[in-house]
Structure 1
């Protein structure tokens, strides 16, 4: 994680879910130093389309935030725009397709890297319902099972907590909302996982 601090623009950074990797972070991690490589089109087509649509989505993987939602996440975030946190510049993250996945078990950890040490009022974790197909369907609120809401976390660079699930297999989306503590800022991300 120390290497993240030296990336250009990191001084103005906020954070993201680094494990299981959020979509923009996974693309930046895998291709940021090689984003012009045409092999990406075949090896990682979802990251390819995201870089083609707006490379800034990956360079600013830590800045997918909106101010002043007052906890009204669902009302302020239309179906089909959850993975971009309803930010038009990040719309490529909403596209269904074969996103790379992180393999997890029924019990797994979520790791928020909080570069600016904002802390959290809470984090909410959802998992896409059985029968939802992330390769062909855009994510909506009705496609999610609520799993847990954490308590508060003091400011720190790394926040990790455990998630317990059951009954999921194959490719699912883990959807996380981070309500930052320093002001009313809400972050939302999709991480693609394979439950093994």
Structure 2
């Protein structure tokens, strides 16, 4: 039985629609919602937590100037505080991340996080607990934790690898929304940066963050 021209057109349009939907699902990127260090808060997370619901408030420029400049540069840095990842570094963290770009994890869209200045700090002791919140529960191959050297000034200097003291590398962690681990240090006082590398377990995905702290 021959189909009418209108039936043929309808079937053609239906096939085209199905094909378009298939392409949409095929090429949709994988979800990039993962996590960050929430305590002591990473720079982007602090700005989102403090100002995300009030980011148009002009008072931010005076009260929290580093968050203000970050929002002015690219508000998406804060909205996507959980997505500062890079794929396929193969453990070559230092070689793949130039000095001065550590706090942004080498991501140009997050470059405002590298800028020195009066970032808000979290008060910690020499023995403190770190808390990762991971929306996607990917677990960790390991975390590496560094502290900026005595004499380094985060208010005037961008962070480089030579400015860091290596503190510890953890073991593996099973998938979970919340991962906490203890860090023991000694000899630090005042303002520092805690620099953390999270190697996620599900793929070769690397996250790097700066948390501004005050050792009391």
Q: What's the TM-score, normalizing by structure 1?
A: 0.94
Query: Within 2, Cα distance between the matches of 1:92 and 1:123?
Result: 24
Alignment RMSD (CA, Å): 0.7
Q: Which residue of the partner structure matches residue 100 of structure 2?
A: 80
**Which secondary structure state, in structure 2, belongs to the residue aligned with residue 33 of structure 1?**
coil
| Bigger Rg over Cα | 2
Q: What are the ranges of 5 or more consecutive residues in structure 2 without an aligned counterpart?
A: 1-30
**Which secondary structure state, in structure 1, belongs to the residue aligned with residue 144 of structure 2?**
strand
Query: Within 1, Cα distance between the matches of 2:168 and 2:202?
Result: 22
CA deviation map 1:148-170 (0-9, x unaligned): 00000010000000000110011
Q: State whether structure 2 residue 136 is matched by structure 1 residue 106.
A: no
Q: What's the TM-score, normalizing by structure 2?
A: 0.85
CA deviation map 1:123-158 (0-9, x unaligned): 000000000000000000000000000000010000
Q: How many residues align?
A: 186
CA shift, 1:66, in A, is 0.1
Q: Which residue of the partner structure matches residue 34 of structure 1?
A: 54
The correspondence for 2:171, drawn from 142, 147, 151, is 151
The correspondence for 2:144, drawn from 87, 99, 124, is 124
**Which secondary structure state, in structure 2, belongs to the residue aligned with residue 34 of structure 1?**
coil
Q: What are the ranges of 5 or more consecutive residues in structure 1 without an aligned counterpart?
A: 1-10
CA shift, 1:13, in A, is 1.0
Query: Within 1, Cα distance between the matches of 2:91 and 2:160?
Result: 17
CA shift, 1:12, in A, is 4.5
Query: Within 1, Cα distance between the matches of 2:88 and 2:172?
Result: 19
Q: State whether structure 2 residue 47 is matched by structure 1 residue 24.
A: no
